[in-house]
Structure 1
Amino acid sequence: MNLSDFTDSITLIICAVLILLYASGKLFNKGTEGKDTNTAVLVIGIIMLIVGIIEGVRNYLQQV
């Protein structure tokens, strides 16, 4: 089992975390609260996080 098998899911999870931080206004101090796009960005980040976790689990189960 190599780390290279999980790089796609790790990258996806890192990107999802960055998107969630940006949507919550913690990544940059601009604060995107109160905008309609904030909800859409949160939804995209959560979907990416779920897909990354599922992809990582699937890759892990294929290795075992």
Structure 2
Amino acid sequence: MSAKVLERFPAGSPRGSWPAEEFAAARRAEGEPATVVMDLRSDAFLVVVEAPDEDSRA
């Protein structure tokens, strides 16, 4: 499986602010299994959902 990025948030949010977690929680409340991951290369938090691999489509 691969991941589809729903939204990207800079890692430098103000102290006590968790916009990526709040966005992911709202997606989960809508039934979408969103997860937050850290992209070290871009210094950003990504909200992602699993997406089927392109190669596995029939």
Superposition TM-score, scaled by structure 1 size: 0.29
Q: Which has the higher helix share?
A: 1
Q: Which has the higher strand share?
A: 2
Bigger relative contact order (CA 8 A; separation at least 6): 2
Superposition TM-score, scaled by structure 2 size: 0.31
